[in-house]
Amino acid sequence: MSKQSKVHAFTKRGKVFGNVWRVYSAKCDQDFSLSSDRELAHWILFLEFNPDVIRFDLNPQPRSQSPEPGAKRTILDAEVIVRGGSIEWHEIKEGSFNKDAESTPQIELQRELAKAAGVNYRIFNDDDFAPRASSIMPLLKVAACLAAGRHFFIPPAINLDVADYLIGHASGTLDEYLRHLNSHSQDVLLYLFCQHYSLGKIAVEFESAFFAKNTKWALVS
In a domain, 123, yes or no: yes
| Helix, strand or coil, per DSSP, at residue 120 | strand
Amino acid letter at 189? Answer: L
| Helix, strand or coil, per DSSP, at residue 185 | coil
Domain count, the chain: 2
129 and 157, same domain (yes or no): no
11 and 107, same domain (yes or no): yes
71 and 108, same domain (yes or no): yes
| Helix, strand or coil, per DSSP, at residue 61 | coil
Single pTM value for the model: 0.88
Is residue 45 within 8 A of residue 132, CB to CB? The reply is yes
**DSSP one-letter string for 58-72:** SSPPPEES-SSTT--
In a domain, 138, yes or no: no
Q: What are phi and psi of 166, to 5 degrees?
A: -65, -45
pLDDT in tens, the chain (221 residues): 344 444 444 544 443 344 789 999 999 999 999 999 999 999 999 999 999 999 999 999 999 988 777 789 999 999 999 999 999 999 999 999 999 999 999 999 999 999 999 999 999 999 999 999 999 999 999 999 999 999 989 999 999 999 999 999 999 999 999 999 999 999 999 999 999 999 999 999 987 799 999 999 999 98
CATH code: domain of residue 159 = 1.10.10.10
pLDDT tens digits, 95-130: 999 999 999 999 999 999 999 999 999 999 999 999
